[in-house]
Structure 1
Amino acid sequence: MSLVFIVSVLLQLGCAVHVVRSGRPLYWIWLLLIGSYLAVAVYILVAVIPDMRHDPRGRQVTSKALQAIDPKRRRRELQRKLDIANTVENRRRLAEESLQVGDYVNAQELYQSLLSGMYETDPNFMLGLAQSQAGNNDFVAARDTLERLIAANPTFRSPDGHLLYARCLEEVGETDKALEEYHVLADSYPGEEGRYRYARLLRQVQRAEEARDVLQSQLRRAKAMPGYYRRKEQTWLKAAKLELAQIGDS
Structure 2
Amino acid sequence: MPFIGLGLHVVVAIFFAVHAMKTGRNLYWLIILFSFPLLGSIVYFLVEYLPHSRLNRGINKAAGAAMKLLDPEREYREASAAYDLTPTAQNKIRLAKAALERGNAQEAVRHYDDALTGPFASDPELLFGLGRSLLAEGSAAAAVRACDVVARLSATHPDYRRDETALLAARAFAGAGRRDEAARAFEHALGTYNNVETRARYIAWLAQQGDTARASTLMEDLQKAARHWSSHARDINREWIALAQGSLKA
TM-score (norm. length: structure 2): 0.66
Say which SS state the counterpart of residue 159 (structure 2) adopts.
coil
Return the letter of the residue paired with 2:111: L
| Structure-2 separation of matches of 1:202 and 1:187 | 16
Quote how far apart the aligned CAs of 1:190 are: 6.3
Pick which of 202-211 and 139-148 moved more: 202-211
Q: Distance between the aligned counterparts of 2:241 and 2:235, measured in 1? A: 9
**Within-5 A mapping of 1:149-228:** 149-189=153-193, 191-205=195-209, 207-228=211-232
Letter in 2 for 1:161: T
Q: Distance in 1 between matches of 2:81 and 2:157?
A: 33
Higher deviation after alignment, 233-242 or 143-152: 233-242
Q: Which amino acid counterpart does residue 168 of structure 1 have in structure 2?
A: A
Q: In 1, Cα distance between the equivalents of 2:103 and 2:185? A: 26
1:170–1:178 Cα contact (<8 Å) kept: yes
Residue 100 (structure 1) aligns with: 101
Q: Indicate the residue corresponding to 1:22 in structure 2.
A: none
Using the TM superposition, give the Cα deviation of residue 106 of structure 1 relative to its aligned residue in structure 2, in angstroms.
Answer: 1.9
- Post-superposition offset of 1:245: 6.2
Deviates more, 1:95-104 or 1:114-123: 95-104
Query: Which of the two has higher C-alpha Rg?
Result: 1
The one-letter code matched in structure 2 to 1:149 is: L
Alpha-carbon separation, structure 2, partners of 1:61 and 1:212? 34
Name the CA distance, whole Å, in 2 between partners of 1:62 and 1:215: 33
Distance 1:66 1:231, change over 3 A: closer
**Pairwise CA RMSD:** 2.8
Q: Which moved more, 1:200-209 or 1:115-124?
A: 200-209
**Percent identity over the alignment?**
27
Runs of 4+ off more than 6 Å: 56-62
Matched, 1:134 2:138: no
- Size of the aligned set, in residue pairs, is 192
Q: In structure 2, what is the Cα distance between the partners aligned to 1:240 and 1:112?
A: 32
Partner Cα distance (2:240, 2:62) in 1: 27
* TM value normalised by structure 1: 0.66
| 1:197-248 Cα distance to aligned partner (Å, 9 max, x none) | 32344445554433332221111111122221122212322343455567xx
Aligned CA distance change for structure 1 residues 77 and 240 (closer, same or farther; 3 Å): closer
